[in-house]
Structure formats: C-alpha cells, structure tokens
C-alpha cells in the first residue's frame, strides 16, 4: 500500500481559521481552530482540502472507501480500459490468510495455497476470455475483490474527520484502517494539529457505540 499527499490547501489551519472568523466578523486567531472543532462548528473545516494518491490497495477496500460521498471526490483506475493479461494483476493477501497456520489444511492445502490458486485461476480465466475476443470491460467480471487498484482522493478536512471516526475504529476492516492511518500520517507532516483530531468515534463520544467493543473504552 502506498499513500501520498500530492497537494493540499496551503496553510490549511489558517484557511480554516479565516473562514471561521468571517462567520463572527472577528479577528482570525489561532485558538479559534480548537474552539470550533471542540464545539462542533465544523463547516469552516471544509475550507481545507487534502488530495491523496493511493495505490496497492484492493478493490474490496475501494468499494468501502467510495461509500463516503459528502465532501470527497474520487478518480479510480478503470478496469474497463486497463488490461491485466501481460504481467497479470497484482493482488492483496489478507493477513488472516498470509499468516494462517500452515498445518491447518483443506484437502491437504493450507490457506495460502488455496488463495493463490484462486488468484491464478482468475488470471487464467481473464486471459482466456481476452484471447477469445471478449471485451476487457466484460472479461473483468472474473477479477476478484483482491485485485489491486489505484485511486486519487480529494477530501476536505470535515469529511476526513468523519472518515477517521469510522475507519480508525478497531472494528473497521484491517486494510481500510491501515489506509486511513497512513492518510493521517501524511496530514501530520503538514499539520500535526489537524492530524491530532483524526481519531476513532470513541474519542469523540467518550464511549464505545459498537456492539462488540475492542475494550479500550467503556461502552457506557
């Protein structure tokens, strides 16, 4: 997985502060930022935008990511036009499969081999369909969710906080949790303060709303 912050609003903290100060016709001051975030006045946060280049992630992840609709834009690699029959498609292997004990087998094969065989079978089917003249946009139907993809994401800071609330939660799936963690690290390089507010929902609620809690925060 590769995550790059390719551009962003210059001085994002100041952009937010200036927008917030305009609401009350007050003098822009640094302390306004903490005040509006902690008070829940988040509209000015939308004046800071971050653009990420993301690659080496699965289509399973991007299907989850693009469900975020407000305050975000996506431009994803097209499987209709990108062919995978030369070098083959790259794929993501979940840790639960990669690290599965090899002495546990199904019909003599460990989880790693079963998974790899499935990827190889999908690749072979894809290539055969292409050779038969099936259009790329239709041959892609055999490609798995594990298939790697690249995607550009433009997201304002308000939406990024909302994304972090859900996807930094320990109950989120491992891959998208890692992605948002890396997005947070990238934001930290340009604004440690803004990165500091990218927290799971238990941070904001001071409780865990999940049915199955990780145990780090009291559910009450």
Q: Which residues are catalytic?
A: 167
Angle between helices 31-39 and 12-24 (to 10 degrees): 70
Closest by CA position to 121, among listed 99, 96, 89: 89
Euclidean distance between CA atoms 43 and 162, whole angstroms: 12
Residue with tokens 């049915």: 211
User: Residues 139, 142, 147, 149: is their CA dihedral positive or negative?
Assistant: positive
């Amino acid at each position: 997985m590769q995550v790059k912050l390719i551009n962003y609003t210059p001085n994002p903290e100041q952009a937010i502060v200036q927008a917030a100060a305009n609401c009350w016709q007050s003098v822009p001051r640094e302390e306004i930022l903490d005040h509006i975030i902690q008070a829940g006045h988040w509209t000015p946060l939308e004046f800071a935008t971050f653009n990420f280049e993301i690659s080496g992630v699965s289509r399973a992840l991007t299907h989850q990511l693009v469900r975020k609709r407000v305050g975000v834009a996506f431009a994803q690699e097209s499987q209709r036009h990108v062919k995978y029959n030369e070098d083959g498609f790259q794929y993501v292997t979940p840790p639960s499969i990669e690290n599965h004990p090899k002495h546990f087998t199904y019909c003599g094969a460990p989880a790693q081999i079963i998974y790899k065989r499935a990827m190889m079978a999908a690749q072979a089917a894809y290539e055969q369909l292409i050779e038969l003249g099936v259009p790329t946009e239709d041959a892609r139907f055999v490609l798995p969710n594990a298939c790697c993809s690249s995607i550009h994401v433009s997201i304002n800071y308000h939406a990024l906080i909302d994304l972090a609330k859900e996807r930094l939660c320990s109950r989120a799936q491992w891959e998208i949790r890692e992605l948002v963690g890396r997005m947070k690290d990238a934001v930290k390089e340009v604004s440690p303060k803004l990165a500091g507010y990218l927290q799971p929902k238990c941070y904001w609620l001071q409780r865990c709303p999940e049915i199955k809690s990780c145990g780090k925060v009291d559910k009450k």
